[in-house]
Amino acid sequence: MDKRARIIVSGMKAWGIVFFLCLTGQQTVEAQRPVSNVVVETVIEQSVAAGQTFVGTTTPVKKSMVGSAVDGRVADYPINEGDFVKKNQPLAQLRTATIELELEAAKDELKLRKEELNELENGSRPAEIRQAKAAMLAAKTAMEYHQNKKNRAEELYRSNAINADELQLIVSEQIQAEQKYLQAKESYQLVVDGPRKERIEQARAQVAIQQSIVEKLQDQLSKHTIKAPFDGFISAEHTEVGQWVQRGELVAEVLALNEIDVLSQVPESVIPFVKRGMQVNVRIAALPEHLFTGELVSIVPQADVRSRTFPVKIRVRNGIENDIPLIKSGMIARVTLPTGAKTKSLFVPKDALVLGGRTTMIYVVATGEKKGTFVAKPVAVETGIAMGERIQVIGNLQPGQQVIIRGNERLRPGQPVTILKTNQ
């Protein structure tokens, strides 16, 4: 044997030894795999319509372009793109020093008007009535005195004891005293009767007018604080501190992402088979480890005349972790919709699906090498339409087989398993 042949033979022997060691090591590793406890459920067969996958786009359930209701300069802008905000949380604060001063003055004026009204409504106090009565009685006494004085003066005038001028002076004093008494008497009656109803109504009107002025200023003040219309995420900023914004000018954009709508264009041949309220299987290309189930919420009855497709919306509940939405707006999604007559199909629980790999698979329970033992056997499947907690699968499966729904997260092909429970 020449040198070249010896080298080839030696190389083959070396590779054989390496292959033997690898095979032995693999068998040793497989033999050392621990037994995993699992829960299983049965594969069932049901009649469902054939399904087809359509591409869609995730969109927010609500989107608000928040603008300013008044003109003003931005004093505070505490938000950033991507922030989560609660309903009525301030997005921007405009300067309000002038309007706050006007509001304080209007409130003080309103307080004054209310006190004036209270004074009129409460009427005269007992002390005021007593005072007016005392003044009336004093005026009456003075009137009686001057009346008696006048009577004596007239007698003296007839006896020529006084002249006409003196009599005229005494008569004038008597008339003045009588008028003062009448005036005091009327004043007393006014105090007893209290304010007129017309005056009270005028005071009430003044209070109402001033109340409206205060509420108007309060409304203007509240409009200087621009708030979030609902819980959501900031998708765009349109201003900054110190910038002047005009009424109607955009301040921020807010997206509601607690639920997501998947908008898909569906051909007119498929539309007769889709119904509002049906459960739809949704896959997000960027989230291969997640399977979502949505509800078909709307079928727009106006088709795109060029493609002859109808917009269909499927609503999916989103996951929010640490104020970050799992599904973002604008992601590519695929939805599975029924496209024809019903046929028999296989269904497994959604928990049986193992996601995240190149292909979706499930583990079925197979008989092990030793009698009475079981192992996990992987089966690649394609998913179809959803039906409650189960999902349609296409693959090398048979009705009645047991699929693993708990404990399948870290299983390896051929790993021994122990069945703890079988769900029906």
Q: What is the pLDDT of residues 328-362, one digit of tens each?
A: 999 999 998 888 777 788 899 888 898 877 888 89
Say which range, 24-38, 69-83, 95-109, has the weakest mean pLDDT. Answer: 24-38
Question: What's the rounded Cα separation, in Å, for the pair 68 and 48?
Answer: 52
CA 25-27-33 angle, 5° bins: 105
* Structure tokens belonging to residue 243: 């910038």
CA distances from 18 to 6, 25, 319 (A): 18, 10, 49
* Structure tokens belonging to residue 42: 């049965």
Q: What is the pLDDT of residue 29?
A: 40
CA distances from 2 to 5, 11, 13, 319 (A): 5, 15, 17, 71
Contact 274, 264 (CB under 8 A): no
Question: What's the rounded Cα separation, in Å, for the pair 166 and 325?
Answer: 108
What pairing do the DSSP bridges indicate for beta strands 44-67 and 332-349?
A: antiparallel
* Structure tokens belonging to residue 91: 């997005």
Q: What is the pLDDT of residue 2?
A: 47
Which amino acid makes up residue 54?
Answer: F
Phi, psi of 379 (to 5 degrees): -135, 120
What pairing do the DSSP bridges indicate for beta strands 36-42 and 416-423?
A: parallel
Question: What's the rounded Cα separation, in Å, for the pair 65 and 236?
Answer: 9
Averaged pLDDT for residues 202-220:
94
Say which range, 55-59, 269-273, 295-299, has the weakest mean pLDDT. Answer: 269-273
Question: What's the rounded Cα separation, in Å, for the pair 375 and 412?
Answer: 10
Question: What's the rounded Cα separation, in Å, for the pair 372 and 380?
Answer: 26
Residue 200 has pLDDT above 50, yes or no: yes
Q: What is the pLDDT of residue 16?
A: 45
Averaged pLDDT for residues 22-40:
61
Q: How far is CA 86 from the centre of its chain?
A: 6
The phi-psi region of residue 330 (left if phi > 0; otherwise alpha if psi is between -120 and 50; otherwise beta) is left
Question: What's the rounded Cα separation, in Å, for the pair 40 and 364?
Answer: 9
Q: What is the pLDDT of residue 20?
A: 41
For residue 285, what is the DSSP state?
A: T
Residue 264 has pLDDT above 90, yes or no: yes
CA distances from 244 to 73, 172, 237, 254 (A): 4, 77, 14, 21
Question: What's the rounded Cα separation, in Å, for the pair 133 and 189?
Answer: 9
Start-to-end C-alpha separation, the chain = 69
Q: What is the pLDDT of residue 30?
A: 42
Question: What's the rounded Cα separation, in Å, for the pair 348 and 360?
Answer: 13
Q: What is the pLDDT of residue 382?
A: 87
Please name every residue paired with 340 in a beta bridge, in sequence order, or none if there are none: none
Which amino acid makes up residue 276?
Answer: R
Q: What is the pLDDT of residue 33?
A: 66
Which amino acid makes up residue 110?
Answer: L
Question: What's the rounded Cα separation, in Å, for the pair 53 and 333?
Answer: 10
CA 279-270-308 angle, 5° bins: 125
The beta strand positions in 36-154, using DSSP E, are 36-42, 44-67, 72-76, 84-85, 90-94
**Helix (H) and strand (E) counts for the chain?**
5, 20
Q: How far is CA 30 from the centre of its chain?
A: 54
Model confidence over 280-324: pLDDT tens digits?
Answer: 889 898 998 888 889 999 999 999 989 999 999 999 999 888 888
Please name every residue paired with 349 in a beta bridge, in sequence order, or none if there are none: 390
Residue 271 has pLDDT above 70, yes or no: yes
Contact 156, 170 (CB under 8 A): no
Please name every residue paired with 323 in a beta bridge, in sequence order, or none if there are none: none
Q: Which residue carries 């699968």 as its tokens?
A: 393
Phi, psi of 14 (to 5 degrees): -65, -45
